[in-house]
């Protein structure tokens, strides 16, 4: 193990021995100084997770969340200088964190929160002109191979729990006492200008958008959506246009783009 890796691992794990060769400029004990530095680093990383997952923290309380976040930091140290990326693996860790098993919706709530963070940092993309989409939809030669690209900020979190309502209750939108956590919900996350928005979607519309994101043609996406409940294509397309989430019209070959 090289000195840099040895230092980094000791920084996050108090059980590891002090890195070799440490010196202090003022004559204080290296172990004491390193312990202070270690604590400051770990606390800063926990604070960053708390900022990214405020609802997750609120659902379990600050003390529990910080203990869970500390375990995550120690087992999954940052791989990037960008703290915004540090929480990408946190939902999976929460799912495997045994003490959190009594709060079964917690992993999906954290998935919703990381989706919001990712939406904020996603690439920009211009929406298609409604006229161009209308022309493509009315051309029978294009319809069979029509594919629609969805804005890079868009993600869908589908859950057997009421993740949207749990999240919305902590935004003051609804009363958490009225939320039934066991009710399945799907949440759409997207960026509107510089603002990240979240809304609840039906299962059918969620599957429709997921299918488009996976590169399936429009007719395939409609078939997938219709097989999982009532689905109205006009309403779904109207939503995507109103939110300006369609960025390219693709026909024929994969790289054939029409704006």
Same domain, 140 and 69: no
Among 103, 134, 150, where does a domain finish? Answer: 103
Reduced DSSP (H G I as helix, E B as strand, rest coil) percent helix, strand, coil of the chain, to 5: 55, 10, 35
Strand 246-250 relative to strand 147-150: parallel, antiparallel, unpaired?
antiparallel
| Residue 238: inside a domain | yes
Same domain, 136 and 252: yes
| Whole-number percent of the chain with pLDDT over 90 | 64
| Residue 220: inside a domain | yes
Same domain, 131 and 229: yes
Contact by Cβ (8 Å): 19, 6: yes
Instruction: List strands edge to edge, sheet with 185-192.
Output: 155-159, 185-192, 195-201
Same domain, 130 and 210: yes
Residue 152 scores a pLDDT above 50: yes
Q: Is 92 left (phi over 0), alpha (psi -120 to 50) or beta?
A: alpha
Average pLDDT over residues 67-74: 93
DSSP per residue over 8-37, as a string?
HHHHH-TTSPPPTT---TTS--HHHHHHHH
Cα–Cα distance between 221 and 211 in angstroms, integer?
Answer: 5
Same domain, 93 and 145: no
Residue 149 scores a pLDDT above 50: yes
Residue 153 scores a pLDDT above 70: yes
- pLDDT tens digits for range 2-42: 656 656 666 666 666 666 656 665 666 566 566 665 666 78
Average pLDDT over residues 58-65: 98
Q: Residue 258 has what pLDDT?
A: 46
| Residue 113: inside a domain | no
Residue 172 scores a pLDDT above 80: yes
| Residue 253: inside a domain | yes
Q: Residue 128 has what pLDDT?
A: 95
Instruction: List strands edge to edge, sheet with 246-250.
Output: 147-150, 246-250, 257-258
| Residue 111: inside a domain | no
Q: Residue 44 has what pLDDT?
A: 87
Q: Assign 92 a pLDDT band (cuts: 50, 70, 90).
A: very high
What does pTM read for this prediction?
Answer: 0.84
Same domain, 137 and 241: yes
- Give the chain's domain count: 2
Q: Assign 255 a pLDDT band (cuts: 50, 70, 90).
A: very low
DSSP per residue over 201-219, as a string?
E-HHHHHHHHHHHTT--HH
Q: Residue 74 has what pLDDT?
A: 85
Among 74, 103, 132, where does a domain finish? Answer: 103
Same domain, 155 and 245: yes
Least confident of 29-33, 115-119, 129-133, 233-237: 29-33
- What are the CB-based long-range contacts (under 8 Å, 24+) for 30-36? 34/10
| Residue 176: inside a domain | yes
CATH of the domain at 161: 3.90.930
| Residue 109: inside a domain | no
Same domain, 99 and 128: no
Cα–Cα distance between 12 and 6 in angstroms, integer?
Answer: 10
Same domain, 251 and 144: yes
Strand partners, 192: 195
Same domain, 131 and 95: no
Q: Residue 26 has what pLDDT?
A: 63
Same domain, 150 and 249: yes
Mean pLDDT, the chain, whole residue set:
87
- Structural domain boundaries, residue 146: 123-259
Same domain, 70 and 195: no
């Amino acid at each position: 193990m090289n000195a840099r890796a040895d230092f980094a691992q000791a920084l996050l794990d108090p059980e590891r021995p002090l890195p070799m060769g440490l010196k202090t400029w003022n004559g204080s004990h290296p172990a004491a100084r390193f312990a202070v530095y270690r604590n400051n680093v770990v606390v800063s990383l926990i604070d960053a997770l708390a900022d990214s997952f405020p609802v997750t923290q609120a659902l379990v309380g600050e003390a529990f969340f910080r203990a869970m976040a500390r375990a995550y930091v120690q087992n999954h140290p940052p791989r990037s200088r960008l703290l915004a990326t540090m929480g990408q693996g946190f939902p999976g860790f929460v799912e495997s964190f045994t003490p959190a098993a009594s709060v079964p919706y917690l992993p999906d709530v954290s998935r919703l929160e990381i989706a919001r963070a990712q939406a904020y940092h996603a690439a920009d993309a211009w929406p298609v002109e409604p006229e161009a989409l209308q022309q493509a939809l009315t051309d029978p030669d294009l319809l069979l191979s029509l594919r629609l690209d969805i804005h890079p900020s868009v993600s869908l979190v589908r859950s057997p729990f009421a993740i949207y309502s749990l999240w919305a209750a902590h935004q003051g939108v609804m009363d958490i006492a009225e939320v039934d956590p066991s009710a399945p919900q799907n949440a759409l996350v997207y960026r509107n200008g510089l603002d990240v928005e979240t809304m609840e979607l039906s299962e059918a519309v969620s599957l429709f958008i997921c299918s488009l994101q996976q590169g399936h043609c429009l007719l395939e996406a409609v078939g997938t959506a219709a097989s999982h409940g009532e689905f109205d294509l006009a309403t779904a397309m109207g939503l995507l246009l109103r939110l300006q989430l369609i960025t390219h019209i693709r026909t024929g070959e994969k790289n054939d783009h029409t704006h």
